[in-house]
Amino acid sequence: MKVSRVVMVSLGFSLVVLVALTMWMPSVDDLFVENPYWNGLSGFYVECDPIRLDVLSDWGSFLVPADNSTLFIIGPDSEFDVFDAEAVSDYLGSGGRVVLMDDFGSGNQLLELLGLDTRFTGLSLEDPLFYEGDFGFPVVLDVGLAGVDEVVLNLPTGLVGGGVVLASSSPFSHYVGMVDSGDLGSVPVIVRVSVGEGVLFVVSDSSVFINSMIDYRDNRALLGALARGRVFVDESHMMATRLTRAKGFYRGFYGFFDRFEYRYLFLGLVGVLVFKLKWETGEKIEEDDVVSQVMMAHPGWDRDLVEHVHRLRENDEG
């Protein structure tokens, strides 16, 4: 076997091992559906089995009716553009349900592009009386959703502007650093806004459903109340690590072969290449055996010349 062939086989094997390790290693990115640790959403993934969107407009490529589905946008880090807003607006206009969960990210940018008045204040909310373990984990005691009584938030912010308030913090809550200014009182934390035929839920905390929070009080029930039908989750606005981006690339490559015609075409091409490689390799091994025997008997001869003579002889016999 020539050195080039050995190198190619080695590179191919290394690539397979690299892909396998990449897919096997868990991601540690915040709010990522494959992250099994405290800051991940693997519990959310198990509960909802979401369709993961690398581009918001991709929701229309799935055979899922918008009026029987829910799009979650959780903790967006990167900016939204007009195309993102159009995709969300089209989804809402088709009767879709959107759940925007944010605290200190870029959620306000999307709300502004959608032409809505609701905003995240961006101020840290805490409650010294109704909390879970720490003032920064306020307990919401009255939620206007069926089957949900008490919800524990994780370092949330507040909401202002329009919409129907579904949940507020207690009258003893306040923004951090503003307790002496008289700004005590209930702050909206979950708001519902009707947009076209659809509904937008704005939640002032992106961490309610992470693995370390989902089983507090009625947090899991809140997820069930918000998620209707088939669930989409937006991954296009998260700041992903290289490992997570690689996982997304391999997942997209694999998804390309979901269509059976592409899958069988690929298998056919692989079969042809394997057969061709095996045939050529078999011929080469046979040729190498003959040449090697001659070179062993006459080590001083020129190997290239011996191979050339062998090929001429094969052609003459043919």
pLDDT, position 22:
46
What would the pLDDT profile of 112-169 be if each residue is shown by its tens digit? 999 999 999 999 999 999 999 999 999 999 899 999 999 999 999 999 998 999 999 9
Judge residue 16's burial from the number of C-beta atoms within 10 Å of its C-beta, 0-12 exposed, 13-18 middle, 19 or more buried.
exposed
pLDDT at 257: 45
Question: Within 13 Å of residue 303, how many CA atoms lie on the same side as its CB?
Answer: 10
**What are the backbone angles phi and psi of residue 189, rounded to the nearest 5°?**
-125, -20
Distance CA 203, CA 196 (A): 20
CB of 142 within 8 A of CB of 171? no
Is residue 40 packed enough to be buried (19+ CB in 10 Å), middle (13-18) or exposed (0-12)?
buried
Which range, of 77-86, 229-238, 245-254, averages the lowest pLDDT? 245-254
Instruction: Provide the pLDDT for residue 251.
Output: 56
172 sits in which H/E element: none
pLDDT of residue 58: 94
* Mean pLDDT of all residues in 178-197: 86
- Phi, psi of 71, deg, nearest 5: -105, 120
Residues belonging to the chain:
318
Instruction: Find, among 194, 173, 70, 184, the residue nearest to 131 by Cα.
Output: 173
User: By three-state DSSP, how is residue 50 classified?
Assistant: coil
What does CATH list as the number for 28-240? Answer: 3.40.50
User: 298-316: per-residue pLDDT in tens?
Assistant: 777 888 887 878 777 777 6
State residue 230 phi and psi, 5-degree precision.
Answer: -75, 140
Question: Is residue 111 a contact partner of residue 118, using CB atoms and an 8 Å limit?
Answer: yes
Percent of the chain with pLDDT over 90: 58
Nearest to 119 by CA among 179, 187, 176: 187
* Residue ranges per structural domain of the chain: 28-240, 259-317
Residue type, 200: L
Asked if the model's pLDDT at residue 240 lies above 70, the reply is no
- Point out the least confidently predicted range of 113-117, 199-203, 275-279: 275-279
Nearest-angstrom CA–CA distance, 55 and 189: 28
Give the chain's end-to-end CA distance (angstroms, integer). 24
* Mean local confidence (pLDDT), 95-116: 96
20-58 pLDDT, tens digit per residue, is 444 445 666 788 888 899 999 999 999 999 999 999 999
Count CA atoms closer than 13 A to 266's CA, side-chain side. Answer: 10
With cut-offs at 50, 70 and 90, classify the pLDDT of residue 6.
Answer: low
- Is 50 exceeded by the pLDDT of residue 205? yes
Q: Are 128 and 135 in contact (CB under 8 A)?
A: yes
